[in-house]
Amino acid sequence: MKRINILTVNNNPNSLSFVFPFLVNKVGLKERGIKARFFYGIKDDLYDCDAVFIDNKFFTPNWHRVGEGFQHLQKKKEEDIFITLKKARERTGAVLWFDNSDSTGTPQFEVLPYVDGYYKSAVLKDRSLYCKNFYRDRIFFDYYHKKFGINDDFATAREYLPDAAHLKKIHLSWNPALNNHSILGNTYSRFGKLVSRMRRFLPVNFRYTARFARVGRLRRIDIAARIGLTHPRKFVHFHRRMLTERLARFKIDTRFASHTLYYKELQNAKLSISPFGLGEISYRDFESIICGALLIKPDMDHLRTWPDLYRDGETYVKCSWDFSDIGDKIDHLFSNPKRVAEIAKEAQRNYRYYLFGGGRDDFCDRIDEITKRHKSSSLRAPRSGAKQSGMVSEIASSPDVASRAPRKDG
């Protein structure tokens, strides 16, 4: 039995998205000889395993904002984190850092020398770009800064750029699509701490509760775009204001709405527009697909993520980052209602695969592959009593090669 210990928190939505697929796929993991155990604090038995999966949100209190607000490590706290990581590497098989930040940027690459693998839910296709400084440490923020001169009160340059030799440690994990996006799912997100405590004492069986709305139902709303303009970050506010201006001729209500009204509109909308936030991937992406609206979103071709729900013209429709073409895209879709339905249906079929079909096995295989990828690390510090019978490095097929739901044509 391969033992994975997961150091995480139970009060952060990104962390809940990170751990939920472990909870719902417990049986599948067991069938592959994998047992996952959750830790919400550093205890001595945390290191008694084949691999420690560290959720970066666990160390959030040890990070702070410097100068104009960019996220950096304090020197003393930095040393505390590094001591923890070094101790883990001495005592366990492999130490893997899971960066569950919102975007392809804002990394904590300071930890790269101290871990065996660094995993993100979305990575830049060209990983050499991680050796460059982007404004506010996000590639799309950099775009708005250079093209429109937008500055951000929180912005500064990243102090730590990774050594090119460490780029091979950067891998793809999984994105929040594998969280439970439904009314019950929202309850889990809101009461994650209580649920995690109940799980210790009660036989709680987790499952996906998403209910996909029929694409072909009568949809009286042309476009759903409840994005609001109250975000405190200048880049997010600018991005959304630019979108609302481009949509003005369609006379869409973009003001914030209650959660109930928001879902009701999505279920009755033909199109749903989901801009970037602090990151490229948004919960609105998943909610739009579940509700049966065709997803329109800024171009995602610069990144790789898994599950892959972003295939232009197949599962969503991309637009430019400055929204200059969004009006033409919408006009074209309105003139092709059959095409709208085809893309929305394929998006649902693709997403269902990951929640209720073979994608469940894909996740379990992915975890198995990750442990095998770093199997050679266990030679570094075998636990007491562990056999060292000439085990060689075993590199499985890369989990970075994002598996896809089989297309309906086979």
Q: 272-277 long-range contacts, Cβ below 8 Å, gap at least 24? A: 272/223, 272/224, 272/225, 272/296, 273/223, 273/224, 273/225, 273/227, 273/243, 273/247, 273/297, 273/326, 275/227, 275/239, 275/240, 275/243, 276/140, 276/236, 276/239, 277/102, 277/231, 277/236
Q: Rounded CA gap, 209 and 207, in Å? A: 6
Instruction: Give the count of beta carbons closer than 10 Å to the beta carbon of residue 280.
Output: 25
pLDDT digits (tens, 9 = 90+) for 15-69: 999 999 999 999 999 999 999 999 999 999 999 999 999 999 998 765 544 444 4
Q: What is the pLDDT of residues 219-256, one digit of tens each?
A: 999 999 999 888 888 889 999 999 999 999 999 999 98
Q: Crossing angle of helices 283-291/337-356, nearest 10°?
A: 110
**Are residues 397 and 369 in contact, defined by beta-carbon separation less than 8 angstroms?**
yes
d(CA 62, CA 248): 44
Kindly report the average pLDDT of the chain as a whole number.
86
pLDDT value, residue 160:
81
Model confidence, pTM:
0.87
Distance CA 203, CA 189 (A): 19
Residues pairing with 273 in the sheet: 296
Fold (topology level) of 210-356: Rossmann fold (3.40.50)
380 pLDDT more than 80: no
**Confidence band for 74, pLDDT divided at 50, 70 and 90:** low
DSSP 111: G
Q: How confident is the model at residue 328 (pLDDT cuts 50, 70, 90)?
A: very high
**158-162, 198-202, 267-271, range with the lowest pLDDT:** 198-202
Least confident segment among 20-24, 67-71, 271-275, 386-390:
386-390
Note the pLDDT tens digit of each residue in 130-170. 999 999 889 999 999 999 999 887 655 566 889 989 999 99
The pLDDT, as a whole number, for residue 389 is 31
Q: What DSSP element (H or E) covers 51?
A: strand 51-55
Mean pLDDT of 57-85: 66
Residue 181: name the closest of 21, 12, 316, 26 by CA. 21
Tokens of 315: 């599962």
For the cut 90, the answer to whether the pLDDT of residue 382 exceeds it is no
Q: Which pLDDT does position 228 carry in this prediction?
A: 83
pLDDT at 383 (0 to 100):
44
Contacts of range 355-359, beta carbons closer than 8 Å, 24 or more positions apart:
355/178, 355/208, 355/210, 356/208, 357/405, 358/405, 358/406, 359/307, 359/403, 359/405
Once rounded to an integer, what is the mean pLDDT over residues 92-101?
95
CA dihedral 239, 187, 285, 135 (to 10 degrees): 40
- 122-124 and 303-305: which strand pairing? antiparallel
Most confident region among 103-117, 180-194, 326-340 by mean pLDDT: 326-340
Amino acid of residue 372: K
Q: Where in the chain is the domain with CATH 3.40.50.2000?
A: 210-356
Read off the pLDDT band of 182 (50, 70, 90). confident
Tell me 383's DSSP state: P
At 317, list the tokens. 């429709």
pLDDT the model gives residue 202: 47
Six-digit token pair at 44?
A: 């001595």
Q: What's the pLDDT tens digit per position in 298-316?
A: 999 999 999 999 999 999 9
Q: How confident is the model at residue 39, as a pLDDT? A: 96
